Copies of this chain bind each other. A is one copy, B any other.
Amino acid sequence: MASPDLPRPLRGDARRNRELLLDAARALFAERGVDVAMAEIARRAGVSNGTLYNRFPTRQDLIEAVFLDRLEKNVELAEQARVADDPWQGFVDYVTGICELQAADRGYNEAVTRGMTSPAAQQLQATATAALGDIFDRAQRAGTLRADTTIDDLAFVVWGISRTVDMTGDHTPRLWRRHLALLLDGFRAAAAHPLPEPPLAAGQAHQAMATD
């Protein structure tokens, strides 16, 4: 049957409209979050809402298409941090990097929270998780990162910083760095006091915070 399951390529106008929609969605997601009205995205892109639904049948499809490159950026950050000269500095740089992604785009954290289910996204997340494991191991073996933490504890950082960005981003756009500095001091081995609860199990963390 000569059927390679490749989807046939889009027609020229359809491809152009797809790009216009992605641009519009990217901008609106960044400033107002991923729950903006679909009709508004279409209007901003200069196409009808019918076209929007033709290209992206569900909001989730649109979200995943928009944020795939942010996931790639995330992986890139992790790869750099994994080979940093100073293990602790690598850890700090990575964490700071993903927080910067969030500070720059209100929709990013919402998208990751919702979960990215496309195969491409899953793959990137797996890669980032693996690299993050190395980053953690190195920093813990160096004795700077406290030994009783897990990569799943980074969910606290991501969640907390995104909330601070939501609350203060408009008015004091750099304040989240203060929040992060306080949090990071709590991750130092020198600061360690016993933790009262076990960390999130790996599966739960993945479900809840995806990869970043």
Question: Chain A: residues with CB nearer than 8 A to chain B?
Answer: 113, 149, 153, 155-156, 159-160, 162-164, 167-168, 171-172, 174-175, 177-179, 181-188, 190-200, 204, 208-209
Contacts and interface: CB of A to CB of B under 8 A. Distances in A.
A82 to B, nearest CB: 23
Nearest to A153: B182
Given A177-B196, A190-B191, A197-B177, A208 B153 contact: no
24 contacts: A153-B178, A153-B182, A155-B164, A156-B164, A156-B179, A156-B182, A159-B163, A162-B163, A168-B208, A171-B204, A172-B200, A175-B197, A177-B197, A178-B199, A181-B193, A181-B194, A181-B195, A181-B196, A182-B186, A182-B187, A184-B186, A185-B185, A185-B193, A190-B191
Given A159-B164, A196-B178, A197-B177, A190 B187 contact: no
A192 B185 contact: yes
